[in-house]
Chain A
Amino acid sequence: MNFYFLRLCWKNIWRNRRRTLITVNAIGLGVMALVFLRNYYDSFHEQVIHNVIRYHSGHVAVAIKNFEKNSATQLYIKNSAPLIQWLNSQKNTLAISERVVFSGLASSARGSTNVMVMGVEPASEAKVTDFARKLIRGSFFDDGKDKSIVLGVKAAETLNAEIGSKIVVLTQGVDGSVGNELFWVSGIFDTGSDADKSLAFIRLSEARAILSLPLQSSHQVAVTLKEEDELSLFRQSFDALSTKEAEVQMLSWKELQRPVVAMIELDRAVNRMLMFLILGVAALGIANSILMSLMERTKEFGVMLAIGTAKEEVIRMVIVETLLLTGVGVFLGNLFGVLVTAFFNQVGFDLRWLTSKDFVIQGAVVQTVSYPVARISNSLVVTTVIVILALAVSYFPARQASRLTPMKALRSH
């Protein structure tokens, strides 16, 4: 089709300006809404993933097999030094944090509460999780004192503890002995998540001592990768690792946080369904517009055929008109979708008018304000789907056009 026919098609779609504008608006609004929604959901999901990673075990947790099911203190890596060395040597490793984890009873002079105690190297842990940045009082073991404990704000409230308060941690050692130790509160964090009432940090060596664990042993090593999509590469390297203990396993955040992954998958499925619904309605608008246009121009098609236009050219014209009509809507929809995304990227898309506070997913807090980022992939997906739907709905008008004969068309009114 040469430029002449392209111009003819362009002029044809604007012969009923109002109808075309309504159709273009329907396509544009649908595309804009979907481009923005997809951008928003992507940012929201990334925030959820980020928070889950930064408040749990990073991208990957390496632990004894079945540790995540049993959480038994007896299931520990006896000598984690070679593993630590190997993890540090990997090019996609950003940070690692060796951990000893146990549940115990934390008591102060004014109260007690059950806590999950995490023995960590403070500097390493601060690179893997965000707890050190969420302190509202004190420091994350920066006081240089031994026997320091960092508590969540709610646990501190339950214990009526403040910076410098004495806390006794009581648990059972791996050898069956009773492990207890006196700590002084050095920091209190506030993440807004469940961790605030149930998590406490102490130094790694002190955790080993309470549990009577051997030196260089640990329950898990949390790993943060440079990029999240390096997970499969990391797994390949890990599976090939010959020096690891046979019973050591690697669990990605997706395996550790299955409900979060399921929620994101469900969100995406609903989003896809919404996309087909919205674009389906827009496609019906396109079909209506093209069919009406065709009915009004049947005699004109007769003239075209009579003076030597091939049926295939008429069909091509119908399809090109459909694509041009769709193209205008898609262009405007994408343009405004990106602009709306850019606007909310600056000011934040705030859902507080729908839900009164930040919410918690799998222990990680998710803010109601998101800052969506425009992604070309989202525009491409929406554009591809609407173009395919437009081509599908143009089949019927095109088929109708292909059945025309010059005389039949010329006799129509």
Chain B
Amino acid sequence: MNILEFREVSKVYNQEKSGIHDLSFSVKQGEIVALAGPSGSGKTTALNIAAGLDEFCDGEVRLLDRSLQNLLPQELLNLRRNDVGFIFQSYNLFPVLTVLENVEYPLALKGVRFYERIEKAKRCIEEVGLAGLEDRMPSALSGGQQQRVAVARALVTEPRIIFADEPTANLDAVTAEKLLLLFRELNDKQGTTFIFSSHDPRVLKFADRVIVLADGRLAH
């Protein structure tokens, strides 16, 4: 079953120099897929469109069997809250919140009660190997640890699909390896689908399937 489908999707920024053009591909439930390609190839644009963060000009994107362009704002909001997780390249943690509070955030949005929220957030923090660091501020963590917090934040609502933009770009080799193993573990345990944008060979080697983009199109 396809969890994500791109059907001739186009997104143009300026004078057709960047963006994506007539892009079509699909991702199955439980797959780990990497969108690869050089800078400006359109992989981040495709990832953002797939996650419902960015708009597109033509074509159709179906996520979790729903057409994104036909979604009402509230439906899109529910999709982001319940079914989709997003891991940003530069972590983007909330600097005023502790590790625990950062991971709690998506649960608080869903209105999960305090004790359940704390329990789930702590369990996720433990899963990403940061047990004991719950009360630390993001600024007191290493880059790898911050990325793990971002992963825990994306995982805590148990989404069906997680999008990650260059997840290893700011990590050293050892930390990147650990993170990828964590993704695999989650994929095996929970069947979570992962879609990365990356040009890191380690990620590409790790993915079940690599979709290569060039100039906003599928490369052959």
CB distance from A22 to the nearest CB of B (A): 19
Within the complex, which residue of A299, A307, A310 is in contact with B153, where a contact is CB–CB below 8 Å? A307
Instruction: Return A16 CB to nearest CB of chain B, in Å.
Output: 11
Q: Which of B78-100 contact A (CB under 8 A)?
A: 78, 80-82, 85-86, 88, 92, 94-97
Mask of A2-26 contacts with B, CB within 8 angstroms, 1/0: 1111011001101100000000000
Q: A15, B95: Cβ atoms under 8 Å? A: yes
Contacts of A309 in B (CB 8 A): 109
Residues of A with C-beta under 8 A to B85: 307
The reply on B53 being an interface residue by CB < 8 A is yes
Q: Do the beta carbons of A11 and B80 come within 8 Å of each other? A: no
Q: A2-B111, A11-B97, A299-B92 are in contact. Are A307 and B106 (CB under 8 A)?
A: yes
Judge if A306 is at the interface, Cβ distance under 8 Å.
yes
Chain A residue nearest to B95 (CB atoms) is A15
Which B residues touch A307, using CB under 8 A?
Answer: 80-81, 85-86, 105-106, 109, 153-154
In the complex, how many angstroms separate the beta carbon of B89 from the nearest chain A beta carbon? Answer: 10
Q: How far is the CB of B79 from chain A (nearest CB, A)?
A: 8
Instruction: Specify which chain B residues have a CB less than 8 angstroms from the CB of A385 in the assembled complex.
Output: none
Complex Cα–Cα for A8 and B95 (A): 11
Return B68 CB to nearest CB of chain A, in Å: 13
The answer to whether A310 touches B104, judged by C-beta atoms less than 8 angstroms apart, is no
A162 in contact (CB, < 8 A): no
Contacting residues, chain A, for B48 (C-beta < 8 A): 407
Does B140 sit at the interface, judged by CB under 8 A? no
Give A295 Cβ to nearest chain B Cβ, in Å.
16
B57 contacts chain A at the CB level, 8 A cutoff: no
* B141 interface hit (Cβ, 8 Å): no
- In the docked arrangement, what's the CA distance between A5 and B101, Å? 10
Task: Determine chain A's interface SS by DSSP, over half rule.
Answer: helix
The listed residue with most A CB atoms (<10 A of its CB), out of B81, B92, B104, B110, is B92
Q: How far is the CB of B123 from chain A (nearest CB, A)?
A: 18
Proximity bits, B138-182, A CB within 8 Å = 1, else 0 = 000000000000000110000000000000000000000000000
Contact residue among B53, B82, B104, B114 (Cβ-Cβ distance under 8 Å from A406): B53
Q: Which of A12, A306, A308, A309 has the most CB of B within 10 A?
A: A308
Interface code A298-323, partner B: CB below 8 Å = 1, 0 otherwise? 01100100111110010000000000
Chain B residues lying within 8 Å of A8, measured Cβ to Cβ, are: 94, 96-97, 101
| B94, chain A: closest CB distance, angstroms | 6
The total of interchain contacts (Cβ-Cβ below 8 angstroms) comes to: 60
Bound-state CA distance A12–B154 (Å) is 22
Most buried by B among A5, A7, A15, A309: A309
Interface residues of A in 153-196 (CB under 8 A from B): none
CB distance from A251 to the nearest CB of B (A): 65
Tell me whether B88 and A407 are in contact (CB under 8 A): no
Q: Choose one: A15, A299, A407; the contact of B53 (CB below 8 Å).
A: A407
A residues less than 8 Å from B119 (CB atoms): none
A308 to B53, Cβ gap below 8 A? no
- Choose from B51, B81, B86, B104 the contact partner of A4 (Cβ within 8 Å): B104
Known: A303-B92, A308-B77, A310-B77. A4 touches B54 (CB 8 A): no
Residues of A281-338 contacting chain B, CB below 8 A:
299-300, 303, 306-310, 313
Kindly state whether residue B108 has any CB partner on chain A within 8 Å: yes
Nearest B residue to A3 by beta-carbon distance?
B114
List 6 A-B pairs, Cβ < 8 Å. Answer: A2-B108, A4-B104, A8-B96, A12-B96, A308-B80, A410-B92
Counting from the closest, the 4 A-B pairs by CB-CB distance are A308-B81, A308-B80, A11-B96, A4-B108
Additional pairs, 4, CB under 8 Å, beyond known A310-B77, A313-B109: A306-B53, A307-B109, A307-B153, A407-B53
